[in-house]
Amino acid sequence: MNRIVWIMIIVWMCGVAKTANGQNDPAQEVRAIRESLETIGDPWVASENGIMRMPSEQRRALLTAPLRPDATITATVPVEIRTEDREFPAAFDWRNIDGVDWMTSVKNQGGCGSCAAFASVGSVEAMVRIVRGEPTYEIDLSEQHLFSCCNGDCPTGLYMGDAFDYFTANGVPDEECLPYSAVDDNCDETCPDWQSRAVRTESWQLLWQYTWDDAVLKTCIMEHPIACYLEVYNDFFSYSGGVYIKTPGATLAGGHFVVIVGWNDELNCWICKNSWDKDWGIEGYFMIRKGETNIGTWAMRASYSVPPTPTWTATPDPSWTATPTPPPTPSSTATTLPSATPTETPSSADTATPEPSGTPAGCPETGVMILMPGEVFRPGDVCSCQVRVCNATGSMLPDTPLAVVLEVSGEYYFAPSFGDFDVLVLTFLSGETTVEVLPEFIWPTGAGTFYGARFHAAMLDPGMTSVLGRIDTVAFAWEE
């Protein structure tokens, strides 16, 4: 190809293919991209679509991920994942696992730079189906709630680490709770009962920053689809099939977040879900050569477990309902904590604990309430945990197990030992009794930052086969 043709291709690819009135001419742009594709063997197909018909400024507005994400993030990097003895299939795709599609629908971020919300939600929705073992499980989470309530901004976007922090600390409700409208300032329009409808992840990890590892990424993808980063060049907007490779003369348009759902080793590519509607790509998906335009870097791996189904139906009395306070503002910091594995048998069913004194007044319903002096603890703050037990049966409850569990990053620590499975065995007089679980202490420096810890409490029958009355859960966090 002669020098004049090369110059023409570069001019078109730099975005100067305009109509007489100064607007983009998508047909002319696509022709130029196709000419450039011929020079590298036509590895993919360029076509007109809804994104190509946008003005170039609106296209770039979709790409708000930082071009070189902030390397000061303090999430766990790198993650130790064993792959030495792992064998991987030559091809893998969560849209077709033995003929079953585990993915949720492709969505459209519209004219807002909300790709981080769509990538994190897309990853979590599929993860929930996979963990539950239900490929048709109805789940459609609200990207709008996540974006607006996590301080997203359409012109500048949202960092995906903040999005996953919000998933862990607060959870994200269903789409009907706050339908998507491609804005960034309507958090207060979220449905009033959103917290009871929210899906919450247990934790998240940053796999790596400016690099990627094929075996580790495959291992994680086989668990569930992974949200990650790539750089978008101006030819990518026209993609409609094949394996994407940046064409000669293509110019950098911006950073973007997507979801990797699989791979094909024969084609040397990753298979990804985008958020530009089904009109773009292969019904909203694309294939991209491994290592191309930083695909797979800044990969985020979340974790989730199915919440237990309550076995009680008691309705809390309004006088026993604590006044809620706003959830903490998430940050992009995650902290690894020590783990403990529960066992099936209590290690101290007759723990010697002084019998608390009962107060007969103000006890509307049998059950428990967890009391903490705050929801977010910082160095120097006073922290403690008590459980107020209400015995409204009208008679004494002798030798009654009280289970108090601290949950952190999916690990469980049981009072009073805060180790393996344990319970407090107490006698509760009629009325109210306050049990001290954690004596007052000053929150130390150096504890890091963590969102989404919880205390759970319940009274059990003496045989520990059922719950007595209402149970309680309180979430809290700590910040350095």
Ordered by where they begin, the domains of the chain are 3-56 (no CATH), 61-303 (3.90.70.10), 318-478 (2.60.40.10)
Calculate the alpha carbon distances from 322 to 316, 391, 474 in Å.
Answer: 10, 18, 10
The whole-number pLDDT of residue 376 equals 86
Average pLDDT over residues 345-371: 55
6-63 residue pLDDT tens: 333 333 334 434 443 445 688 999 999 999 999 999 999 999 999 999 988 899 889 9
- Is residue 109 predicted with pLDDT exceeding 70? yes
Q: Which residues of 334-370 are buried (b: 16+ CB within 10 A; e: fewer)?
A: bbebeebeeeeebebeebebeebebeeeebeebbbbb
The type of residue at 399 is D
Lowest mean pLDDT across 51-65, 115-129, 319-333, 432-446: 319-333
Calculate the alpha carbon distances from 357 to 7, 192, 367, 385, 396 in Å.
Answer: 88, 39, 16, 18, 12
The whole-number pLDDT of residue 24 equals 67
**Of residues 463 and 40, more confidently modeled:** 40
Side-chain-side CA neighbours of 283 within 13 Å: the count stands at 4
Lowest mean pLDDT across 154-168, 281-295, 346-360: 346-360
**Of residues 419 and 253, more confidently modeled:** 253
- Per-residue HEC secondary structure of 231-262 comes to EEECCHHHEEEEEECCCCCCCEEEEEEEEEEE
Lowest mean pLDDT across 96-100, 151-155, 178-182, 205-209: 205-209
Sign of the CA dihedral 117, 118, 122, 125? positive
pLDDT band at residue 96 under the 50/70/90 scheme: very high
The whole-number pLDDT of residue 415 equals 87
Q: Are 83 and 207 in contact, with CB atoms under 8 Å apart?
A: no
The whole-number pLDDT of residue 25 equals 82
Lowest mean pLDDT across 37-41, 95-99, 155-159, 448-452: 448-452
- Is residue 73 predicted with pLDDT exceeding 60? no
pLDDT band at residue 321 under the 50/70/90 scheme: very low
**Of residues 276 and 336, more confidently modeled:** 276
Calculate the alpha carbon distances from 415 to 161, 201, 337, 397, 476 in Å.
Answer: 32, 24, 18, 20, 17
pLDDT band at residue 426 under the 50/70/90 scheme: confident
The winner for highest mean pLDDT among 67-71, 85-89, 91-95 is 91-95
Average pLDDT over residues 458-477: 86
Structure tokens at 36: 């450039």
The whole-number pLDDT of residue 360 equals 38
The residues near 96 (Cβ < 8 Å, ≥ 6 apart) are: none
Structure tokens at 56: 């170039």
Average pLDDT over residues 109-126: 95
- Is residue 145 predicted with pLDDT exceeding 90? yes
Rounded to the nearest integer, the mean pLDDT of the chain is 80
183-193 residue pLDDT tens: 999 999 999 99
Average pLDDT over residues 392-407: 87
328-351 residue pLDDT tens: 333 333 333 333 333 333 443 333
The residues near 71 (Cβ < 8 Å, ≥ 6 apart) are: 209, 210
For the range 434-437, what are the long-range contacts, defined as Cβ-Cβ under 8 Å and sequence gap of 24 or more? 434/356, 434/371, 434/386, 434/387, 434/388, 434/389, 435/356, 435/386, 435/387, 435/388, 435/389, 435/402, 436/384, 436/386, 437/385, 437/386, 437/387, 437/404
Lowest mean pLDDT across 103-107, 109-113, 268-272: 109-113
The whole-number pLDDT of residue 446 equals 81
**Of residues 388 and 410, more confidently modeled:** 388
The whole-number pLDDT of residue 16 equals 38
pLDDT band at residue 102 under the 50/70/90 scheme: very high
